[in-house]
Structure 1
Amino acid sequence: MAHVINRDVWATAPDGWNGELQGGAYGAGICVIFNLLDAPGGGPRLHKHPYPETFIIRAGTGLFTVGDKEIAATAGQILVVPPDTPHKFTNLGPGPLETIDIHESGNFVTEWLE
């Protein structure tokens, strides 16, 4: 069975792009986070997952901390973080940072480290 999931289900605001979807509820083995960080700074604290996470950078530049490395990723790039690897990111600016984050699990499993 196919599922069409409307914005009011996954978005945190009806006209915004921030939000998340746990795909397991719809038979999908992924979760998706839609991030739009308007200003420099912000972003999630250091954390890890027992599965890989894939970041699609749609706009802007983010500074990703992945394990002991810092990676500046820009629009058009894709970054894959291995399972159980501590990571976080922030918007470097000057404009918005927009990412789509794909978790290889039907439900979010996150261990916050800071």
Structure 2
Amino acid sequence: MAHVIERDSWAEAPDRWKGELQCGQFGANSCLIFNYQEKIGAGPRLHKHPYAEIFVIRSGTGLFTIGDREIKASAGQILIVPPGTPHKFTNLGPGPLESTDIHENGHFITEWLE
């Protein structure tokens, strides 16, 4: 069965692509985060997941720490974080950092490391 998921069920604000959706409830083995980091320096603290996470950078530039690597990533690039790898990112500016983050699991499992 196909599912149509309306924006008001996952978006934090109707005018912004920011929010998250756990797709396991619809039979999919993925979760989506529509990330919008407006402030320079903003982003999640160090964490890891027991599954891979894929970052699709839609606009802006971020500094991603993935394991022992630091990667400056910009719009159009895709980063793949292997399962169990500590990672975090921050917005480098000058504008917002927007990404679609794909978790390869039907629900979020996050271990915060800092």
How do residues 1-114 of structure 1 correspond to structure 2 at under 5 angstroms? 1-114=1-114
* Distance (whole Å) between structure 2 residues aligned to residue 4 and residue 41 of structure 1: 35
Structure 2: runs of 5+ lacking an equivalent: none
The one-letter code matched in structure 1 to 2:65 is T
- Displacement over 2 Å in runs of 4+: none
Structure 1: runs of 5+ lacking an equivalent: none
* Distance (whole Å) between structure 1 residues aligned to residue 74 and residue 16 of structure 2: 21
The one-letter code matched in structure 2 to 1:45 is R
The one-letter code matched in structure 2 to 1:8 is D
1:46-105 Cα deviation digits (max 9, x unpaired): 000000000000001010000111000010000000000000000000111100000000
Which structure's residues are more often strand, by fraction? 2
Same amino acid, percent of matched pairs:
72
The one-letter code matched in structure 1 to 2:107 is N
1:10-56 Cα deviation digits (max 9, x unpaired): 11112221100000011111000001112211111100000000000
Per the normalisation by structure 2, the TM-score is: 0.98
* Distance (whole Å) between structure 2 residues aligned to residue 26 and residue 104 of structure 1: 14
The one-letter code matched in structure 1 to 2:100 is I
SS in 1 for 2:43: coil
CA RMSD of aligned residues (A): 0.6
SS in 2 for 1:8: helix
